[in-house]
Amino acid sequence: MTRSTIIYTYTDEAPALATYSLLPIVRAFAATAGATVETRDISLAGRVLAAFPDRLREDQRVPDALAELRALTSSPEANIIKLPNISASVPQLRAAIAELQGQGYAVPDYPESPADAEERDVRSRYDAVKGSAVNPVLRQGNSDRRVPAPVKNHARAHPHWMGAWTPASKTDVVSMADDDFRHTERSAVVAETGSLRIELVTRGGETHALADEVPVEAGEIVDAAVMRVDALTRFVAAQAARAKEQGVLFSVHLKATMMKVSDPIIFGHVIRALFPRTFGRYGDAIAAAGLDPADGLAAIFDGLASVPGGEQIRASFDEEAAAGPRLAMVDAARGITNLHVPNSVIIDASMPAMIRNSGHMSGPDGEEADTLAVVPDSSYSGVYKVFVDDCRTHGALDPATIGSVPNVGLMAQAAEEYGSHDTTFEIPVAGTVRVLDRTGTPLLEQPVSEGDIFRVCRTTDLAVTNWVQLAVRRARESGDPAVFWLDETRPHDAKLLEKVHAALAHEDTEGLSIEIMEPAAATAHALARMRRGEDTISVTGNVLRDYLTDLFPIMEVGTSAKVLSIVPLLAGGALFETGAGGSAPKHVQQLLEENFLRWDSLGEFLALAVSLALLAEKAGNPRVGVLARTLDKATERLLDEMKSPGRKVGGVDNRGSHFFLALFWAQELAGQTEDLALASTFSGLAKTLADGEQVIVDELLSVQGAPVDLGGYYHPDPGRAAAVMRPSPTLNAALETLGVPGTSG
């Protein structure tokens, strides 16, 4: 790539479909300033195909775009716009594989229990694809996330709906008080660069390697923690009894996508704990049929249809469900519970939605009700507990008056729990897990029992130093106080605090307000300031970064998709992320049924503006800077004139919002005086789009209401997708007047 190149990622589902409509506009406008916009396919289907070039015909092979981008992050020229992607669970991965096989791609089946070397190789390749395979690879820097001023101002002028809270609400958040990752955590700092060995020493004295060489750097923080499954089972059973006694809904909140090893296992234990008689009586038959509760109730119920005696087993599930607590529902009309699919309820999205909705989730009868939110590991659950208690006491937050809580997140080099996939293990036999340094000296040890979940997490010294520097810079640039959300009683945080204090000593903090608070207290502090209309920078670890940049923006502006997410890369380039909620399966379903896509590309608009600004700076191209500034003005007009996508057929959808962005952007460019030649270039397009507005809107509306066929869900046909997402001949022809034919990439 050149210094005048932006890499725009092709991902999955709604964002990928939106790309077919938006990218031709972006490419046409950028080209007038000598900038190019290239795409790289990091979709789930693209990652699967890239993993098996040896099994595909030459004309079917695709480059490993994720590996290419990983290398690019080490370049100071990196300028990458990353749209949300599927953090694939095993059921999603299997569905994508089946679709690709149906399209003629000879990718292998996913081996649940590899039986030989070939299957182990296949499983290893798929394990590198599933879960959040993309984010840890590209996020080679720490995170700067905030709600941009135009978005915040619009939300204050047009506040979104917030459900009312009452002191009588029974909604609560509950977690384990012992024997979880938080309470078993032990931490150490590595003295020398090298590698670690993780081994299990059984009670009988046998030693089994769990991981032979885990690379580490000098000064790296290493944690070892265990989720003890016996305690987990007792905890879940107790909460189920509590929910039934109190008459509230039972819900479990995990992240089986990002935490792709530990959380699916926890999810499976939750199901076992809620159906003890069924698994006690039929557990062997369920396992023999290859059915795993970690995949959710839906997979079990579907599989029982072909199992001898399956009807009897299903009846046992139904009987226990009827006798237990009422389960929170994902889709009450279709009988889909919180436990049907592991990735249907993802904590960072589900908890804010519940809080915004008066603390309610939907029950089996379709009616909303108070809910017991079960978050097994207590590491960060106190944040949600404080939020719920605050709303119960003080009422719902008011988007018209509240302040903001931007975030500086420790994310670089797969920091903390989100980088633990390769060092998380389900323990096969009781004993002790030891983490040994390169000399064979034990660094950390944990006693374990069969079935326990053991994990090692790491945080590099460089990542921490850069994180502190970014926090200080944001505090100085914004003038807002910054609070490090760290708990000195947690072993990891205690080690981290030593590094934070050392790094702060080398920074100029005169005149800045920088504090350190444990997460629950920091939540209460931020909420109190927020209710007074004051802003507070949250400086957090990786998981809290993820949680808070959904939680607070959803309260502030209604969605985390409107957050400006910048990752200043350690090597000097930048990654611009376009918001959350990328999977958006309901959006795709609506498009397929009604040819209406309600995905809001505002995150893409915001990311593109700062990406163009960086490009202008790096390439010394002021004309690109004009594009960036006018795009921000066009985005503000889009919000003010209410041209964002609606939710129902008959109004502006994603494609309509893209047209209005193009219209407003062209008008802003035609009217600016910084670059008169550029103004002249866009004067004709601005007039053409303005004169043709009604025709273009009519063309976009005329296709709505009828089903469409994309030729695939995970791997749609590019021609069909482009035809569906670019249905206005008038708009398409107008873009051609800039002399740059629009393509879908």
- HEC profile of 629-660: HHHHHHHHHHHHCCCCCCCCCCCCCHHHHHHH
Per-residue pLDDT, averaged over 354-366, amounts to 95
- Cβ count near 53 (within 10 Å): 13
Q: Closest Cα partner for 655 from 589, 711, 723? A: 723
Band of residue 2 on the pLDDT scale cut at 50, 70, 90:
low
- Who's near 502: CB < 8 A, 6+ residues apart? none
More confident residue, 260 or 500: 500
- Who's near 651: CB < 8 A, 6+ residues apart? none
Torsion 371-245-322-279 (CA) sign: positive
**pLDDT tens, position by position, 500-519:** 999 999 999 999 999 999 99
pLDDT at 474 over 70: yes
Helix axes 13-31, 622-640, angle to 10 degrees: 130
More confident residue, 370 or 562: 370
Tokens in use for 557? 């502006």
- The CA distance from 163 to 392, in Å, is 12
Percent of the chain with pLDDT over 90: 86
- The CA distance from 119 to 110, in Å, is 9
Tell me, what amino acid is at 108?
A: P
Q: Closest Cα partner for 351 from 326, 385, 327? A: 385
- The CA distance from 722 to 743, in Å, is 8
Distance of CA 256 to the CA centre of its chain: 11
DSSP result, 567-589? EEBTTS-EEEE--S----HHHHH
- Who's near 168: CB < 8 A, 6+ residues apart? none
DSSP 88: B
pLDDT at 583 over 60: no
pLDDT for 421: 86
Looking only at the bridges linking them, the beta strands covering 79-82 and 5-10 are parallel
Beta bridge partners of 517: 485
pLDDT at 742 over 50: no
Q: Counting beta carbons within 10 angstroms of the beta carbon of residue 573, is it exposed (0 to 12), middle (13 to 18) or buried (19 or more)?
A: buried
Helix axes 693-702, 676-691, angle to 10 degrees: 60
pLDDT at 579 over 90: no
DSSP 413: G
**pLDDT tens, position by position, 394-407:** 999 999 999 999 99
More confident residue, 30 or 349: 30
Band of residue 595 on the pLDDT scale cut at 50, 70, 90:
very high
**pLDDT tens, position by position, 609-639:** 999 999 999 999 999 999 999 999 999 999 9
DSSP result, 116-132? SHHHHHHHHHHHTTTBT
pLDDT for 584: 66
Q: Closest Cα partner for 599 from 16, 41, 10, 42? A: 16
**Run of H or E residues at 155:** helix 149-157
Reduce the DSSP state of residue 451 to 3 states and report it.
coil
pLDDT for 260: 83
Q: Closest Cα partner for 10 from 95, 86, 99, 71? A: 86
pLDDT for 744: 39
Band of residue 673 on the pLDDT scale cut at 50, 70, 90:
very high
- The CA distance from 197 to 436, in Å, is 5
Strands (E), 324-441: 329-331, 336-337, 360-362, 368-374, 407-409, 424-426, 431-436
210, 199 Cβ separation under 8 angstroms:
yes
Distance of CA 730 to the CA centre of its chain: 36
**pLDDT tens, position by position, 681-735:** 999 999 999 999 999 999 999 999 999 999 999 999 999 999 999 999 999 999 9
- The CA distance from 617 to 621, in Å, is 7
Q: Closest Cα partner for 138 from 551, 624, 565? A: 565
Q: DSSP H helical segments within 32-82, as ranges?
A: 44-51, 65-72
Beta bridge partners of 575: 80, 567
Q: Closest Cα partner for 561 from 668, 651, 664, 645? A: 645
Among 12-26, 552-566, 593-607, 669-683, the minimum mean pLDDT is found in 552-566
**pLDDT tens, position by position, 129-150:** 887 778 888 989 999 999 988 8
**pLDDT tens, position by position, 51-93:** 999 999 999 999 999 999 999 999 999 999 999 888 788 889 9
The Cβ-side half-sphere exposure at 323, using a 13 Å CA radius, reads 12
Strands (E), 324-367: 329-331, 336-337, 360-362
- The CA distance from 186 to 148, in Å, is 39
pLDDT for 441: 92
664, 656 Cβ separation under 8 angstroms:
no
**Run of H or E residues at 195:** strand 194-202
Rg (the chain; Cα; Å): 26
411, 564 Cβ separation under 8 angstroms:
no
685, 734 Cβ separation under 8 angstroms:
yes
Helix axes 519-531, 542-557, angle to 10 degrees: 20
Helix axes 149-157, 542-557, angle to 10 degrees: 40
Mean pLDDT of the chain: 94
pLDDT for 113: 87
Tokens in use for 654? 């994603």
C-alpha dist (Å) from residue 707 to 12, 596, 723: 20, 9, 13
Beta bridge partners of 459: 221
Q: Closest Cα partner for 122 from 111, 112, 133? A: 111
Per-residue pLDDT, averaged over 640-658, amounts to 95
- Who's near 25: CB < 8 A, 6+ residues apart? 658, 661, 662, 735, 742
